[in-house]
């Protein structure tokens, strides 16, 4: 949305309004403004995921930091920032790990879309929904990753490892619960402070 502002000259009438130039913000329907800083943060998250997630193992499963970030951004800031993070962070992580090229951004875009759709119905549960969305999104992402791996021939056909998928979803949900409060604080400051347009 583009806003044009005028500055009123003291003592002047409507005809003396001075044009101060356009103030441009790009806002998304039902979401926050997207700034230049958002893709940079998404790249950093993708790099951190590629560096830490492969070496961190809890209960036999690895966390998906990109997924946690994408779901929280989608739940807190809206659909457009969510899919931006899904693509940028997912592509960054994908370029640094050995997954089939495009598989991470594709699954993250699917997760962001589902998280945004669920937020329309359950988004008022601001402390519960993001964590629940991470659990559901982690499950969907793991199943989608296995299917993509089988389609491109990188993974032999196998039964779904349901216990591992649920354990990973639980781990990601715990991480989301831990970072939810700081993410909400940062989101509040970010939305109010960032007026730069994309």
Total count of domains within the chain: 1
Contact 45/68 with Cβ under 8 angstroms? no
In a domain, 197, yes or no: no
Residue 12 placed within a domain: no
Distance CA 49, CA 90 (A): 9
Are residues 6 and 20 in contact, defined by beta-carbon separation less than 8 angstroms? yes
Asked, for residue 11, whether it belongs to a domain, the answer is: no
Question: At 114, is the secondary structure helix, strand, or coil?
Answer: helix
Domain assignment of residue 129, yes or no: yes
* Burial status of residue 65 (CB atoms within 10 A of its CB: 0-12, 13-18, 19 or more): buried
Quick check: is 61 in a domain? Answer: yes
Is 74 within a domain?
yes
Residues forming beta bridges with residue 61, ordered by sequence position: 58
pLDDT at residue 169, as a whole number: 97
Q: What is the mean pLDDT of the chain?
A: 81
Q: Where do the H-state alpha helices sit in 53-102?
A: 65-77, 79-96
Q: Is the pLDDT of residue 6 over 60?
A: no
Give the tokens for residue 196: 């730069």
What token pair was written down for 63? 């966390």
pLDDT digits (tens, 9 = 90+) for 59-86: 889 999 999 999 999 999 999 999 999 9
Domain contains 117: yes
In a domain, residue 17? The reply is no
Strand locations in 25-170 (E): none
pTM, entire model: 0.77
Q: What is the CATH number of the domain that holds 107?
A: 1.10.1760.20
Distance, in Å, from the CA atom of 5 to the CA atom of 168, rounded to the nearest integer, reads: 50
Residue 112, SS3 per DSSP:
helix
In whole angstroms, give the CA distance from residue 107 to residue 86: 8
Structure-model confidence comparison of residues 167 and 100, the more confident one: 167
- Write out the residue range of the structural domain in which residue 44 sits: 32-192
């Amino acid at each position: 949305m583009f806003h044009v502002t005028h500055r009123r000259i003291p003592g002047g009438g409507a005809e003396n309004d001075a044009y101060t130039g356009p103030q441009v913000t790009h806002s998304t329907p039902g979401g926050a403004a997207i700034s230049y800083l958002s893709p940079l943060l998404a790249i950093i998250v993708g790099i951190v995921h590629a560096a830490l997630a492969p070496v961190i193992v809890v209960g036999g499963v690895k966390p998906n930091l990109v997924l946690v970030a994408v779901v929280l951004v989608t739940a807190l800031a809206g659909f457009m920032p969510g899919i931006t993070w899904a693509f940028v962070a997912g592509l960054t992580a994908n370029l640094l790990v050995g997954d089939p090229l495009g598989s991470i951004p594709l699954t993250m875009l699917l997760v962001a879309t589902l998280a945004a759709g669920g937020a329309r119905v359950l988004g008022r549960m601001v402390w519960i929904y993001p964590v629940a969305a991470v659990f559901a999104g982690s499950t969907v992402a793991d199943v989608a990753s296995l299917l993509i791996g089988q389609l491109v021939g990188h993974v032999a056909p196998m039964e779904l490892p349901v216990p591992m998928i649920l354990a990973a979803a639980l781990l990601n949900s715990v991480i989301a619960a831990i970072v939810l409060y700081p993410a909400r604080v940062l989101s509040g400051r970010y939305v109010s402070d960032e007026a730069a347009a994309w």
